[in-house]
Amino acid sequence: MTTLTAFGLSREPFSPEAAPDPELFYPALGHEDCLERLRLTVALGLGLGLVTGETGYGKSTVRAALLDEIAHYPGLTIAVIDDPTDCRTDVLFLRRIMAHLGLAGTGRTGLDLSTALLRELEVRRAAGEAVLLVIDDAHRLAGNQLDVLRTLLTATTPAPLTVLLFGEPELLDKVARKRNLAQRAAMSHTLNPLNRRDTAGLIGHRLAVAGLTTGQDLFTGEAIDAIHVATGGVPAAIIALAAAGLDEAVAAGTGVIDGDLARRLIGTRPGRENGASPDETTRRTAATVVQTSFVDQLERLAASNGRRTEERR
């Protein structure tokens, strides 16, 4: 029996998406605040916005929710760069931006291209249009790419170009070292782990989107407690353990994920084991997820987090 048929769901609530699904965005306290600040930055043309957070904290989902909302804003052209390492030189970077805007980018030097792009941006601003550039994995931006962004960001409001950078915490250090660029930042938001209430809310929201009958509780309060403590409130880890919980419940022939099942799944007792810190407990949980056969689809995410943890030790 599949998870869908066992619980009467219309879609998988916790499977990792190839692309983040805006419908699955849960307005946790910090995430909803971040989304609202992004809305204002785009609507008012405030220039530069920064969103940072560790892997698995929900940056991509926030970005997807924003882009879904503003996709049909009148007069707004959106350019998205998912991996800035593909265009390291000034010329390649500018040509990539211009290509997204439907411009030829025939200049041979960075100066030629930036001059042409600034001219086009001013023409669009005069016509009442706006351009939004969104860059994911922005912590990978090189110094020269940040210099290009500074050149393109003007002091006028509304700015002819709004730039939103989504990346890991080191992005803040990179931008801070470019003082003239940092001065253009209208907002900077760091995403943090969820509290216990939002851990429950995230699980409940995804189940509701997947078609769970209103009022039906698949995860008991004790199970939510165990998941929250074990994951440290990291959204990706919560989703991974919730998915594993559904699979385990189907295998065990039970219609509910209770505290005992959750703790058995993550290999912990109630609370932090042996006085471990939340970060230590989260690392142990991530390792458990990697080793669990029914969440093999999450190995890439867990392995990525594992490598980052080892680098910091």
Candidates 105, 112, 103, 166; CA nearest to 134 is: 166
**249 token code pair:** 């419940």
Scanning the structure block, which residue is given the tokens 């989703």?
239
- Fold annotation for 29-190: Rossmann fold (3.40.50)
Tens of each residue's pLDDT in the chain, 313 residues: 688 888 989 999 998 766 789 999 999 999 999 999 999 999 999 999 999 999 999 999 999 999 999 999 999 999 999 999 999 899 999 999 999 999 988 888 999 999 999 999 999 999 999 999 999 999 999 999 999 999 999 878 888 999 999 999 999 999 999 999 999 999 999 999 999 999 999 999 999 999 998 667 899 999 999 999 999 999 999 999 999 999 999 999 998 999 999 999 988 433 444 444 445 544 444 434 433 322 343 343 334 344 444 444 4
For position 161, what pLDDT does the model report?
96
DSSP string, 78-145: EEEES-GGG--SHHHHHHHHHHHTT-----SSHHHHHHHHHHHHHHHHHTT-EEEEEESSGGG--HHH
Interacting residues of 127 by C-beta distance below 8 A, sequence separation 6+: none
Phi, psi of 34 (to 5 degrees): -60, -45
Output the CA–CA distances (angstroms, integers) from residue 297 to 24, 52, 110, in the order listed. Answer: 19, 26, 42
For position 215, what pLDDT does the model report?
61
Q: Is 28 helix (H, G, I), strand (E, B) or coil?
A: coil
List where CATH 3.40.50.300 sits in the chain. 29-190
Phi, psi of 42 (to 5 degrees): -75, -45
For position 3, what pLDDT does the model report?
84
Rounded to two decimals, the pTM is 0.84
Q: What is the DSSP letter of 222?
A: H
**179 token code pair:** 């003082």
